[in-house]
Amino acid sequence: MRLKLVPKDSHWDFFSTTKITLGMSSLAVVASVILFFVMGLNFGIDFKGGTTIRTDSEVAVDVGAYRDALTPLNLGDVSITEIFDPTNPDQHAAQIRIQAQEGAESVSIEMITSVKEALLATDSSLTFPEVTSVGPKVSGELVQTAILAVVVAIAAVLFYIWLRFEWQFSVGAVTALVHDVLLTIGVFSVLQIKFDLAIIAALLTIVGYSLNDTVVVFDRVRENLRRYKKKPLRDVLNQSINETLSRTMMTSVTTLIALISLFILGGDVIRGFVFAMIWGVIVGTYSSVFVASAVLLKLGVKRDWSKEGNNPDAPTTQEAQA
């Protein structure tokens, strides 16, 4: 017995509540923008500046013990990551990142000395081969570069979809991507989860995931537009979404199973990244169906996709080959 997430021949009308879904999405986007300006984001060390200390030890790294030793120092945002080197399995190294203190370019020498003493109390074999600082100027440049990366990615998507389909498809896809990115930023603003370069990587991954779902639906829409030249666009879109719904749900559910496992078992280091991915998969799947396709329906699209004949019921190229 095979698992079926959706009926084999589904005939759901995804546009019966278009005004409601688009209205809710618009309100959510506006709320996300307002929350961003009112509450801001909880920027991590990458965007605030700070100091990175690398440690080497003769014994295995105990991240929990390191964190307990540094907590009484009240250093603010502290990130502790164990470093694995496949070429040197006997190496026991860690990277400790401490946010810049108020009014200071980086963590003071006295504070670094206190950190080293606290860590040595947990492991006397520790050495500190590298101490580096990221000042406000560098962190500001990272913010600008991160914003540029997201904007360029969305612009590239706009151009790609425009070439592959038509400008109406491109506008629908980019609207869905902007929707997904802004809602993710809004959630991070509300929950004040640490926002660092890993989250930027998650945003770019969300853009790719959401685009993949949207392109699958749009590709089926184009096939059906060739085949059913006289069928209303709303009916063609509904049929296309229903035909790809099983694939969409299976991809999303299996991805979420892996991400939820990582969120529970992966530890603090990747939890923010994984949370962003979980949220992105959910809103990305939603926007592919209820945002991108709804925008396409509003804009309309040409019907003479193919010169292969004038018969509205003629088979597509793929069907002829089959």
Q: Are 150 and 203 in contact (CB under 8 A)?
A: yes
**Residue 242's pLDDT is what?**
86
Give the β-pairing of 78-83 and 92-99: antiparallel
**Residue 311's pLDDT is what?**
43
Q: Give the Cα separation of 135 and 186 in Å (integer).
A: 27
Domain 18-41+139-303 has CATH 2.40.30.20: no
Q: Give the Cα separation of 83 and 242 in Å (integer).
A: 46
**Residue 89's pLDDT is what?**
66
The owner of tokens 């690398």 is 54
The secondary element (H helix, E strand) that includes residue 249 is helix 233-265
Q: Where are the domains of the chain?
A: 18-41+139-303, 50-134
Q: Which residues have a Cβ under 8 Å from the Cβ of 209 and sit 6 or more positions away?
A: 255, 280, 281, 284
**Residue 126's pLDDT is what?**
84
Q: Give the Cα separation of 62 and 125 in Å (integer).
A: 13
User: How many CB atoms are located within 10 Å of the residue 99 CB?
Assistant: 23
The secondary element (H helix, E strand) that includes residue 253 is helix 233-265
The owner of tokens 């801001």 is 40
Q: How far apart are the first and last CA of the chain?
A: 27
Q: Is 206 exposed, middle or buried (0-12, 13-18, 19+ CB in 10 A)?
A: buried
pLDDT by 10-residue block (mean), the chain, 322 residues: 63 81 90 90 74 83 84 80 68 79 64 85 83 65 77 81 80 87 90 83 84 84 82 85 84 89 78 89 88 85 53 41 36
Q: Give the Cα separation of 246 and 243 in Å (integer).
A: 7
Q: Give the Cα separation of 310 and 226 in Å (integer).
A: 10
**Residue 33's pLDDT is what?**
92
Q: At what angle do helices 197-227 and 167-191 cross, to 10 degrees?
A: 150
Fold type of domain 50-134 = Alpha-Beta Plaits (3.30.70)
